[in-house]
Structure 1
């Protein structure tokens, strides 16, 4: 399978036929037809159904298209990195929801100002889900909750976060895990690094025996906590952007409360956009965790509404 054949194949798909693909590639139609035939022969499958003057992708062609797009994109990224060209095109960036809400607005605004030819596609998810998408090359990089242990990834520490345990404003003081006995836990689904920190604070092998409400929005989590549904671990940077949340805040030990958000990408596959973001982040002071004023704090204005 020749890389040039894949480029021709993708052009035929994009342009909807041999003639228009040939015009785009500045080749004669017969040359494009020959390339497609060579690709089909080398793979031993039909990539197109030929219906009179029209071509329709066969099932094998549908499968190949995804791989062709990834290979062509990687080739372009490699050329951009090696030649040091200005970042451009689509930058597929992932982030924890908390980081996207509290840390990234200024970062992305500055990146957009510096690199107007880049279109950022931001996706949010749990720590493990984002790592999985980087591994599958569905994301170029992501801000996750903890440094990956897998050597398939490179990372740089970016934001220092402090997690706080929050409960309803009327809650009793919570100074140790035993004070939370009988209370429901509210957390992101499995795969969330902060959920694992909550589990470690509780000293539990798992949360199977506890009442857990799985939510995928910090606005919803804070709103449920304020309503007395249960307790949750939340970054203080998130609480800072919802200052009127009707919740009480309780300190947890540094071992479970201090966490650093890294930017992660596949080892050896940093695109020009990833390198540009990394350089931008390295040039700015690292974000600091919001300091608590006391062991237990309450805000009694208005509740944080769910989306």
Structure 2
């Protein structure tokens, strides 16, 4: 079984399209189709069901898909271990919540880049759910996500603690007024965001029914919509501080059991820890709230 064929299979499965997979892999569609056919013949099963909109992964394909990331990561770890002489270098692929990147990581990553110029640091943002999937499937080496997290394949470490606040337009002076607003909307990140889930739980406990949420992929867009009176949001206090001080939004504090949330750094427990990863965590830990290491929950 050729590892390159497995990479082709993973890309097609993820995109649901031979053509889009070919574009990502910088090849032609006919090459992707041929490689998939060879893999199917070798395994003796169909990996995809073809249809007018593209392809769907078959049950057999779904069963082998988890192994692809692990095999690819194992080979990459072996290569990294062989080349790792203790001096941080090479690629380091991380993920982070957008709020964590804006509030906590920007200055830290700048310092890291200056201290370790031989490391090619790549940070992608996403929701907690998406980032966890990326780490579990070995597409990211680690990620900063909102807790709590429970997964048998992940190690987790508390690195920051955030205070969440409810933000509204300045015309709303207390949370009691929310129940009187018809068609109250929440302004949120995409499904999979833990802050979104916490906001929905908070409003449900208050007996408040909201209209369909408005989803945005940008922190600035969420704050701007709240400022304009479009809806309300739940975000870390630090990321809304400037808008609050400028008088663009009103901030409503919550009791500690609702407001405090841990930001965790998660990584696969079976992954190789490179010198670059060790150097990064050594920079993060002094700035963390507790610095405590929590193994598998």
- Seen in structure 2, the aligned counterparts of structure 1 residues 209 and 172 have a Cα distance that, compared at 3 Å, is closer
Paired residue for 1:46? Answer: none
Over 3 Å counting, the alpha-carbon distance change for 1:250 and 1:117 in structure 2 is same
What's 2:234 paired with? Answer: 233
Aligned pair in 2 of structure 1 residues 99, 164: CA closer, same or farther (>3 Å)? Answer: same
Name the Cα RMSD after superposition: 3.3
Residue aligning to 1:87: 88
Q: Partners of 1:59 and 1:182 in 2: how far apart?
A: 49
Q: 1:241 to 1:277 in 2, by over 3 A?
A: farther
The TM-score normalised by the length of structure 2 is: 0.69
CA distance in 2, matches of 1:195, 1:270: 33
Residue 158 of structure 1 deviates from its aligned partner by: 0.9
Shift of 1:244: 2.3
Q: 1:286 Cα deviation (Å)?
A: 2.9
Please tell me whether the aligned partners of residues 169 and 226 of structure 1 are also in contact (alpha carbons under 8 angstroms): yes
Matched residue of 2:131: which SS? helix
Cα distance in 2 for residues equivalent to 1:77 and 1:147: 30
Q: Summarize deviations over 1:234-280 as a string: whole Å, max 9, x none.
A: 11111135442511111122122111111111113143122222222
Write out per-residue CA displacement over residues 49-93 of structure 1, whole angstroms, 9 at most, x where no aligned residue.
Answer: xxxxxxx956465798x878644312123446xx66222111111
Q: 2:280 — aligned with what?
A: 277
| Deviation per residue, 1:181-235 (Å, 9 max, x gap) | 742111111100101111221236xx99633111111100110011110111011
In structure 2, the CA distance between the partners of 1:179 and 1:261, relative to structure 1 (3 Å rule), is farther
- Give the Cα separation in 2 of the matches to 1:278 and 1:251: 31
Tell whether 2:252 aligns with 1:247: no
Q: 1:88 to 1:260 in 2, by over 3 A?
A: same
Aligned residue number for residue 127 of structure 2: 126
Q: 1:229 to 1:58 in 2, by over 3 A?
A: closer
Q: TM-score, normalised by structure 1?
A: 0.67
Contact 2:127–2:192 under 8 Å retained in 1 = yes
> What's the counterpart of residue 286 of structure 1?
289
Q: What is the DSSP-based 3-state SS (H/G/I as helix, E as strand, rest coil) of the residue aligned with 1:262?
A: strand
How many residue pairs were aligned? 235
Describe how 1:82-231 pairs up with structure 2 within 5 A: 85-175=86-176, 178=179, 182-203=183-204, 210-231=211-232
Structure 1: stretches of 5+ with no match in the other structure: 10-55, 288-307
Gaps in structure 2 of 5+ consecutive residues: 6-29, 40-67, 291-297
How far apart are the structure 1 equivalents of 2:185 and 2:177?
15
Helix, strand or coil at the partner of 2:196: helix
